[in-house]
Amino acid sequence: MKITKIRLRELTGTLRHAGEFWEERLRRPIDVYPEHRAQGPNEWMPVRIDASTSRVVSVFIEIETDAGVTGLGGPVSHDVAAAIPAFRDLLTGEDPIATERLWDKMYRLAVHGRKGAVMMAISALDATLWDLRGKAFDTSVHRLLGGPVRTELPAYASALGFSLEPDKVRERVRDIINQGFVATKWFPRWGPEDGPDGLRQIRRLAEVLREELGPDRDFMLDAWMSWNVPFTVRVAHELADLRPRWLEEPVMPDLIAPYAEISRRSPVPIAGGEHEYTRWGLKQLMDAGACEVLQPDTYWAGGISELMKIAAIASTYAVPVIPHGHSVPANVQLSAALPIPQVPLVEFLIKWNQLLQFFFTEPVLPVNGVITVPDRPGMGVAIDEAKIESERDLD
């Protein structure tokens, strides 16, 4: 079997929703500049049509073979899609089952793309090849990886995009509880530039979360790389009595020594690694003792092939890996093949999954806070052609 074609399909459809899709945005590193800090919710997908409908535009990868087996990957962003054509000549004519060979060839070709959009493209192509491999052998990816270790995975609800107004937070948390989630993660807008008032606002958000969740469910806060060492340490001590499960990505990913300092001084566990790439980048965090939870993204940090290596290295440090929730279908297949202590949870971004899984016939969704691992061939997902209103092939 040989690869004959790599296709990029840009699909357009219409999503119906209640009210504004993005009620609030996360804090960003660039918010240190007042003109950026003053901006409202990012103009992410989807593109608003009216108060209750938005246009979803997604790019999917298809790798075709001379045996009639096709792998499906994505969706990916347009900047990642733009990096994929550089690998077409390298992959065409190759054996798609030889994922280790193909990953290494892509990595060596793209020596200047070890991080960022090019590594994301390698990751997406690798995930697509694993879907193809599963279809070629008529089995699920998690079985090819050595699973199932378990067939059901507990999920936590990430509330990115929801209002931070206390009454609305209470309403959303009650809904999250009713859906059976074991934990929830929130994204405060406040940081060092907000001074004592920012600290009070974060404390108030945490108090509301703990009050609504009660003593037996967890909450986490994600700073999205936009705090600093003194502010994070103050936040950690201020919130310690409320028992957050972790504080996430407090500083920029290259600040490994400050990460480690925070971990040493914080009474609250520190999580990170979402914006780090490959086993080499994640190992630097592990060597420094920077994080007590690692969160590499399967679709960014190197794909299924590389996440298996990252998880193996992390196991030698006894650090759990909870992949960032960009691609739930891939994360679920990966997680089902790893020991339970290594991957205790699956992240489920509530709003993003309405977009990222919009075009799937059978989205991989939690029921009562638990995701049942699909046992269909490959990643277990397929495109619902009925949802496509228009499409085009990208070069």
Decide if 324 is catalytic.
yes
Q: How many CA atoms lie within 13 A of 380 on its CB side?
A: 23
Helix (H) / strand (E) element for 375: namely none
Strands (E), 266-359: 270-272, 293-294, 346-349
Beta-sheet strands, E only, within the chain:
3-16, 47-50, 53-65, 70-76, 152-158, 183-186, 218-222, 246-248, 270-272, 293-294, 346-349, 370-372, 390-394
CA count, 13 A, side-chain hemisphere, 126: 29
> In sequence order, what are the beta bridge partners of 349?
158
The neighbour count for residue 61, using CB atoms within 10 Å, is 24
**CA 48 to CA 53: how far, in whole Å?**
6
Which of 142, 275, 324, 326 is catalytic? The answer is: 324
Q: At what angle do helices 117-136 and 99-109 cross, to 10 degrees?
A: 160
User: Which residues touch 14 (CB under 8 Å, ≥6 apart)?
Assistant: 49, 53, 54, 55, 56, 389
Element (H, E) at 302: none
DSSP tag of 374: P
HSE-up (13 A, CA, CB side) for residue 316: 9
Write the burial class of residue 166 (CB in 10 Å: 0-12 exposed, 13-18 middle, 19+ buried): middle
Structure tokens at 226: 């936009």
Which residue shows structure tokens 């190759």? 94
Q: Angle between the 303-317 and 328-335 helix axes, to the nearest 10 degrees?
A: 50
Q: Which of 171, 177, 167, 221 is nearest to 199 (CA)?
A: 221
| AA identity, residue 130 | W
Element (H, E) at 267: none
The DSSP secondary-structure symbol of 367 reads: B
Residues 6+ apart with CB under 8 A from 78: 59
- Residues that are catalytic: 324
